[in-house]
Structure 1
């Protein structure tokens, strides 16, 4: 999508970031893929032997370039998590591929970048407990499934109750919002839920999926939040993490507003808020 090239250009132009703030990940190693995804699924991806049904579920024609891109995105989220551990926060321009299951892809998601990153850090003993704060408008069904029997990862999802996927998985805590939910109702729940969950879970690291498809202008979202409300959502999540000295790795997630400028502005707000809170 065009937003992945335009967003860094906008952030550089306005001075929110500098060239020195960027890093470029390498493709994720096979060993890391196999700690989250099944050998059978990885073999099909490598050999181009996904069935027509499996390709249809992912949503686009599978090419080696797309698989390589997914590996880079996943490594980017893992790198972000390690940068966040040292510096407080790091943000992936892409990521948030939360519809990918251990054994299959869905919803334009090939690899599950947040699940891979959390699994790798737990495997390496770098963290003992993580939380996934998934505020994309679509439930992170793949993430919920992958961590269903993993007590060291708490999955929290705010999403449209009647939106994709039709069949939701069970997160540790799911809040489904009715169509048309606006800023006040959405933020009221966020203010109530997030601090209490963090205080209970006591994670070492947070993964924040900051999808901007909660906007009223979004073609797929079906909620009615404003740009200001979306920005306040980001501010509250990041400030709540900062107040608890909780490192946070951010993945951008979805955004499908009719005007590309709206998508860029909403995603750029996440970076602006992060710079304001963690840059001090």
Structure 2
């Protein structure tokens, strides 16, 4: 299975900053050591034209040219620097690569991404550009250029925080279905309306979470009874884990592994390609977040293997 990374591009942060920048390199190191069947490639940078598919020209220019105000930088949570811009471009580029590969092979992933708090006109919550929104729009445009039917997209957002930016960007777009399963009392405190929002109480454990996920997936497929989506973006956040500093939920490693299995198996059984982003993870012990992401990638590889076994060789080649 192909996966993409961008951890060479690190933005400088002040001491004590709570964003876990080392997590991404630690994850890649463990993937290389423990998941030999996963083929890693460095992501290309998203271009301005690609970013403009989901973001306003003023916002893209402000980020690229270093014109963000102090207030805008505080809302994002990162100080502006050329490294911030490059890292944000690469994060989007990794999701673009994963989406194209998923359409060809059934499953692909990137080792970061899930920047779902970025709106069309602003960034927020450690999210500069919205990687899934850009990728969804670009995959639709590429399908149109090939004179294929409209590519319908579903976003299954299982980060512990609601995907408010993604919900806002696609609020009036019937071709993209947004699903968010998140903590009711967690950031963002002013939620946007997804196509399907399911909220969870503080302290939620495995059984309640998985029951709610089953309801969410049932409603997703029911809403697509006439035609399945042509591509799913799965945000597999590690932050519902019981050891997360920002999560407020109490899921175990086993519960999160079962979450991944249910989502990815449901997509494979329906023949819906899925591009996976790691999204959030802020463990008190950073190794806990890395372990959750690692087991997501192991499950993805297992589902990719099953997908390949069920498809004709010529179809797998794209």
Same fold at TM > 0.5:
yes
Mapped contact 1:99–1:106 kept (Cα < 8 A): yes
Task: Count residues in correspondence.
Answer: 278
For residues 26 and 204 of structure 2, the distance between their equivalents in structure 1, rounded to whole angstroms, comes to: 29
Aligned to 1:259: 285
Aligned to 2:311: none
Residues 1:227 and 2:247 aligned together = no
Residues 1:178 and 2:201 aligned together = yes
Aligned to 2:313: none
User: How does the TM-score come out when normalised to structure 1?
Assistant: 0.96
* 1:24 Cα offset (Å): 1.8
Mapped contact 2:183–2:202 kept (Cα < 8 A): yes
Mapped contact 2:140–2:151 kept (Cα < 8 A): yes
* SS of residue matched to 1:264: helix
Residues 1:56 and 2:82 aligned together = no
Aligned to 1:10: 30
For residues 16 and 222 of structure 1, the distance between their equivalents in structure 2, rounded to whole angstroms, comes to: 34
* 1:190 Cα offset (Å): 1.0
Aligned to 1:35: 53
Mapped contact 2:159–2:235 kept (Cα < 8 A): yes
Q: How does 1:177-256 map to 2 (within 5 A)?
A: 177-201=200-224, 202-256=228-282
CA RMSD of aligned residues (A): 1.1
For residues 229 and 184 of structure 1, the distance between their equivalents in structure 2, rounded to whole angstroms, comes to: 8
- Which deviates the most, 4-13 or 213-222? 4-13
User: How does the TM-score come out when normalised to structure 2?
Assistant: 0.85
Q: How does 1:143-158 map to 2 (within 5 A)?
A: 143-158=166-181
Which residues of structure 1 form unaligned runs of 5+?
none
Q: Deviations over 1:64-118 (max 9, x none)?
A: 1111111111011011011001111001001000000000000010000000000
Mapped contact 2:94–2:110 kept (Cα < 8 A): yes
Give the 4+ runs in structure 1 shifted more than 3 A: 15-18
For residues 124 and 86 of structure 1, the distance between their equivalents in structure 2, rounded to whole angstroms, comes to: 13
Which residues of structure 2 form unaligned runs of 5+?
1-20, 145-149, 307-318
Mapped contact 1:11–1:17 kept (Cα < 8 A): no
